[in-house]
């Protein structure tokens, strides 16, 4: 690992707003990181246009072209290692990664999830928080472990659930916090990698 600049890859599957927030943060002069690539598993992901507009390299690895999770993960792993990636940020990457892949990147694989983990792993987190009558909801950035949406928590941000909230209005407030939480968590991880905390 270079002492001055950690080589980062961002993985996404859809709209790419967290990818954009991270890319914007990494581009700041005082962040000791370099965005070497983004990868998406979906050729139709909206985030691809964001990358094109910003001049960010984006590799498409369509999971439908592979006949097993292992084969897809092997291709992903090879692509990241060929680019000398040192830290992977999953940002709305909606694909389960195999245990072998995850264990190959110990504490070098981060994820963001739209709930206050360990609550509501998986999908439809905003709807589930509303149905449970939760007063608080939020997002979590965590180190990834082979279990879905699990691993040591780095940053959590909460939002209040308001009367009349729908899954969409709640999601709008949570995503704002996601865009703050992920850069904050990245800074903490970079400091740890540099041995300064």
Q: Is 124 annotated as catalytic?
A: no
Interaction with ligand GAR in 116-155: which residues (CB under 6 A)? 149
Residue with tokens 């072998």: 100
Cβ nearer to ligand GAR, comparing 72 with 120: 120
Instruction: Restricting to residues 157-196, name those near ligand GAR by CB under 6 A.
Output: 175, 178
Q: Which is nearer to ligand GAR, 16 or 151 (CB)?
A: 16
Residue 181, by phi and psi: left (phi above 0), alpha (psi -120 to 50) or beta? Answer: alpha
Judged by CB under 6 A, the stretch of 13-21, 54-62, 64-72, 156-164 that binds ligand GAR is 13-21
CB of 90 to ligand GAR, least distance (A): 7
Q: Find the binder of ligand GAR among 6, 9, 11, 18 (CB under 6 A).
A: 18
Task: Report the C-alpha gap between 111 and 103 in whole angstroms.
Answer: 14
Task: Classify strands 153-160 and 136-143 as parallel, antiparallel or unpaired.
Answer: antiparallel
Q: Whole-angstrom Cα distance, residue 8 to residue 10?
A: 7
**Phi, psi torsion values for 156, nearest 5 degrees:** -125, 145
**In the bound complex, what is the minimum distance in angstroms from residue 3's beta carbon to ligand GAR?**
30
Of 114, 138, 151, 183, which lies in the binding site for ligand GAR, with binding defined by CB under 6 A? 114
Active-site entry in 25, 113, 126, 137: 113
- Cβ proximity to ligand GAR: between 32 and 95 the closer is 95
Torsion sign across C-alpha atoms 126, 128, 133, 135: negative
Query: How far apart are the C-alpha atoms of 32 and 182, rounded to whole Å?
Result: 15
Contact 47, 38 (CB under 8 A): yes
95 binds ligand GAR (CB under 6 A): no
**Residue number, nearest CB to ligand GAR:** 92
For ligand GAR, the binding residues (CB under 6 A) are: 12, 14-18, 91-92, 112-114, 149, 175, 178
Residues serving a catalytic function are 113
């Amino acid at each position: 690992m270079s002492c001055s600049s950690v080589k980062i890859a961002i993985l996404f599957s859809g709209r790419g707003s967290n990818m954009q927030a991270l890319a914007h943060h990494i581009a700041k002069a005082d962040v000791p990181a370099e965005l070497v690539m983004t990868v998406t598993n979906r050729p139709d992901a909206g985030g691809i246009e964001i990358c094109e507009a910003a001049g960010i390299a984006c590799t498409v690895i369509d999971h439908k072209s592979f006949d097993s999770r292992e084969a897809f993960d092997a291709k992903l792993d090879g692509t990241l290692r060929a680019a000398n990636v040192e830290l992977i940020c999953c940002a709305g990457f909606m694909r389960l990664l195999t245990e072998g892949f995850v264990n190959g990147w110990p504490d070098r694989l981060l994820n963001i999830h739209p709930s206050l983990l360990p609550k509501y792993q998986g999908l439809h987190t905003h709807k589930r928080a509303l149905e449970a009558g939760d007063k608080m909801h939020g997002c979590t950035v965590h180190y990834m472990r082979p279990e879905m949406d699990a691993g040591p928590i780095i940053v959590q941000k909460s939002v209040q659930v308001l009367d009349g909230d729908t899954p969409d209005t709640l999601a709008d407030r949570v995503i704002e916090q996601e865009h703050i939480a992920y850069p904050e968590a990245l800074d903490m991880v970079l400091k740890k990698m540099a041995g300064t905390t």
